[in-house]
Amino acid sequence: MNITRRGWSFVGATAGLFAGGRLLGLPQLWILATATLALLLIALAWTNSRRVPIGADRHPTERLQVGVEGRVDLVVRNQGDNVTPTLALTDAFDQGRRSARFLLAPLGAGDVARAAYRIPTDRRGRFELGPLTATVGDPFGLTERGTELAPRTEVLVHPRVHDIVALPELGGDDLDSHAAELVGRPDIGGEFHLVREYLEGDDLRRVHWKATARRERLMVRQDESKRRAPILVLFDIRASRHDRASFEQAVEATASIARALERAGRPYSVVTSTGEAIGQPGQRRLASIMDALAVIEPAASERIVPVLAGRRATTVVYVTGVLVDRDGAAVDLVVRNGGGLAIVTTGASNGSTTTATTATTVARRRRAPLLVHHQPDQSFASNWNQSVLRWQRTDRTQPAALR
């Protein structure tokens, strides 16, 4: 139970009246002081006697996204046999810096009240809701007593995800997404084909009768195999490569690329420049990646070479703030021969300097990389999509100009 600000004013007034009555010898001041003290004691007794048989449930959306409104639903029930007093409900957010406040009208026995409020999603991160408290006070507003109705709950706000086109084939070995289902067989002309089981919708003209007879089930010929190469998404989180704006843009870029790869059914992994693998394999891989990106922060490490030592990938997507020659060269060494490289920069640097740096970094590459230079005040989706189209139209045997 607490004394309110108004109650503390009454305490000060009582002390002042007692002191004035003593100094001035005026009995009227003594009477007023006694009356204010008695009022405060009555208020304390009143508030202490009020029992609040209230139960409540909070139903937040536990996974939100920057820019998407978050809603929290509250259900409050009177669990007692008597009518409740008027209550003030408070649900704190963002470590108590903000809160939602409601006045709850008296509820009869068994009555239910519902309320909802929206929480801000202007930045990513892990935020704490609650506790939800109900406060009852005396009629004079001198004292109050709070009762916890719902405990604290965490809410994750994921980074903003941009709708970008799928990552193109940047090069590397051709693999097959149905490797376990395919059997390689030479035809009579000596040309190698792949044979797999018939699936509904397959062209019957592609039935391979010899293989069907041997395996005693319908088999069809697949002329080429294009399992998309596994992709390593390397997110450079070193503080020396970012300012705050470029880091947030890099987080959004990484999240957008991961979702585009997931939607396209491409095998991929996300690793930070500290060597930490983001996300768990399985059906919730993308959700776990978003959870990690919601709370990721810049790291103080300076060198990226130890992290890349021993790593090899057919295709690498390198997301950083400001590109430095030695970083680009180190990442390029990870790419297998004939593999693909995409470089995404989000730092607010001079365009011509960045172009020259990137050209130097990739000058030794046989296959031109996909280059995306994104400024914090621009649309990542637009920059990415235009860069992909430009890369697809250029001569990929030479480094593409970065714009």
Contact 44, 1 (CB under 8 A): yes
In the chain, % of residues over pLDDT 70: 83
* 1 pLDDT tier (thresholds 50, 70, 90): confident
What sign for the dihedral angle of Cα 377, 382, 387, 390? Answer: negative
> What are the tokens at 294?
């919601």
- 345-367: per-residue pLDDT in tens? 998 654 444 444 454 455 455 56
Domain ranges for the chain: 2-49, 54-158, 179-222, 231-393
Angle at 274 (CA atoms; ends 271, 279), nearest 5 degrees = 30
The CATH number assigned to the domain with range 231-393 reads: 3.40.50
Q: What is the 3-state secondary structure (H, E, C) of 158-216?
A: ECCCCCCCCCCCCCCCCECCCHHHEEEEECCCCCEEEEEECCCCCCHHHECHHHHHHHC
- 197-239: per-residue pLDDT in tens? 776 556 677 788 888 898 888 888 765 444 555 789 999 999 9
Distances in whole angstroms, Cα of residue 149 to Cα of each of 50, 130, 139:
16, 9, 22
Q: List, in sequence order, every residue forming a beta bridge with 187; answer none if it has no partner.
A: none
Rounded Cα gap, residues 218 and 204, in angstroms = 10
- 122-178: per-residue pLDDT in tens? 899 999 998 999 999 888 889 999 889 999 999 999 999 999 988 887 765 544 444
- Looking at domain 54-158, its CATH class is mainly beta
> What are the tokens at 4?
């309110």
> What's the confidence (pLDDT) of residue 354?
47
> What's the confidence (pLDDT) of residue 191?
40
The amino acid that residue 242 corresponds to is H
Residue with tokens 């095998």: 267
- 283-310: per-residue pLDDT in tens? 788 999 999 999 999 998 777 867 777 7
Q: What is the pTM of this model?
A: 0.73
* 258 pLDDT tier (thresholds 50, 70, 90): very high
What sign for the dihedral angle of Cα 331, 335, 338, 340? Answer: negative
Exposure string for 20-38, b = 16+ CB within 10 A, e = fewer:
bbeeeeeeebeebbeebbe
How far does Cα 374 stand from its chain's mean position?
A: 20
pLDDT of 249 strictly over 70: yes
Exposure string for 56-75, b = 16+ CB within 10 A, e = fewer:
bebebbeebbbeeebebebe
In the chain, % of residues over pLDDT 90: 38
Q: What share of the chain is helix, strand, coil (3-state, %, to 5)?
A: 30, 30, 35
Residue with tokens 């994750």: 156
What number of residues does the chain have? 403
